[in-house]
Amino acid sequence: MLSSTHASGATVAPRKTLGFYLASGWLGLMLLIALFGDSLPLPDHKEYFFDEAGAGLFSGKHILGTDIDGIDILSAIVHGTRMSILIAFVCVTVGMLIGGALGIVAAYWRGWVDSVITMYFNVTLSIPNLILTFAMVAVLSSPTATNPEGRMPRVLVIIIALTFALIPILGRLARSSALSWTGREFVQVAESIGMKRRNIMWSHITPNVVPSMMSVGFLAAGVVIVVEGGLAILGVGTDPGESWGSLLSKNRPQIVDYPQAVVWPVVAIALTVMSLNFFGDYFRKRIDNRESRI
């Protein structure tokens, strides 16, 4: 029975379920909103509609209602999308480049290079990532005599800290993925014909590691959005109202009287992270299928 499913040459791509379409639809929507959200015909996210403060669902032009200051919740979320997506995108891209390079070098070079890089990963991973980023943000943004606001823009500090926390996570995965390729025949052939190790890494190992890195990238983007939200709740996020997390932290004290201002940003975060995880999972299955056919 088992062999028959194998012989029928199970499709390379796993079945596209309803969830797949929902997840890709949501992510596509978020991407569009991040790019063009500001030109949507919504009330201004900075305008205080004092007369309509605390309005509920579908009250007039405020589709999701307003918060305690009378700020339109939907347009605030739409505005926050850009920052949340930007932070996730930059952190994951830079993290993948640095972490991926370190992981591949460690896997292919082995020896002391591998020991040093792996030790660096383990040391960084031994500090919970939220605390690590929190500590980095606190230290990096500490005020100086000349600039009481801190040395760098908050967003940059957050991006640096989150990337730093991502590098070991992504790097360790790149290393283990690269390890499964370094012993393959085509690498041995390349070595035996005297190809330079640098070129082997670049043209034989990296292309094979990239797909699995991509699938992890989606999961990592989810982690970034979550940790950014966490940082905001702890009071070291982006400026109030600039990202989903900071919307949460701004409106959290009013959860009793104006729950809508907390619930909708939570829904946006949860749906996005869920879609990212779903997507990452889908790609991982796809890669597993592909490799099991080799």
Nearest alpha-carbon partner for 100 in 186, 188, 220, 249: 220
Tokens matching residue 134:
């929190």
Residue 54 or 61 having the CB closest to another protein: 54
Rounded to an integer, what is the distance from CA 148 to the centroid of its chain?
Answer: 31
Among 89, 184, 211, 277, binds another protein (CB under 8 A): 277
12 binds another protein (CB under 8 A): no
Q: Which stretch binds another protein (CB under 8 A): 24-32, 89-97, 152-160, 249-257?
A: 249-257
Nearer to another protein, 96 or 262 (CB): 262
Alpha-carbon distance of 233 to 235, in angstroms, equals: 5
Looking at beta carbons only, is 20 or 48 nearer to another protein? 20
Q: Does 37 help bind another protein (rule: CB under 8 A)?
A: no
The correct pick among 95, 103, 171, 229 for binding another protein (CB under 8 A) is 229
Give the separation between CA 160 and CA 150, rounded to whole angstroms.
Answer: 15
State which residue, 209 or 273, has the beta carbon closest to another protein: 273
Told to check if 143 binds another protein by CB under 8 A, we report yes
DSSP code string of 86-114 = HHHHHHHHHHHHHHHHHHHHHHHH-HHHH
* Contact between 189 and another protein per CB under 8 A: no
Q: Is 273 in the site for another protein (CB under 8 A)?
A: yes
Give 55-82 as a 3 state SS string: CCCCECCECCCECCCCCEHHHHHHHHHH
Residues 109-128 touching another protein, rule: CB under 8 A, are: 119, 122-124, 126-128
The verdict on 19 binding another protein (CB under 8 A) reads yes
In the chain, the N- to C-terminal Cα span, in Å, equals 21
Distance in angstroms (rounded) separating the CA atoms of residues 86 and 133: 17
Using the rule CB under 8 A, which residue among 4, 5, 144, 192 binds another protein? 144
Nearer to another protein by Cβ, of 151 and 290: the residue is 151
Q: Which residue, 136 or 170, has its beta carbon nearer to another protein?
A: 136
Binding piece for another protein, criterion CB under 8 A, among 2-10, 59-67, 166-174, 230-238 = 230-238
Integer Cα distance of 211 and 288 in angstroms: 10
Decide: is 236 part of the binding site for another protein (CB under 8 A).
Answer: yes
d(CA 280, CA 270): 15
> Can you tell me which of 63, 113, 130, 195 binds another protein, judged by CB under 8 A?
130
**Which residues in 118-155 are b (16+ Cβ under 10 Å) and which e?**
beebeebeeeebeebbbebbeebbeeeeeeeeeeeebb
Strand partners, 66: 72
Instruction: Using CB under 8 A, pick the residue from 13, 31, 35, 139 that binds another protein.
Output: 139
Beta carbons within 8 Å of 19's beta carbon, 6+ residues apart: 278
Residues at the contact surface with another protein, assessed by CB under 8 A? 19, 119, 122-124, 126-128, 130-131, 134-136, 138-140, 142-145, 151, 222, 225-226, 229-230, 233-236, 248, 252, 255-256, 259, 262-263, 266, 269-270, 273-274, 276-278, 281
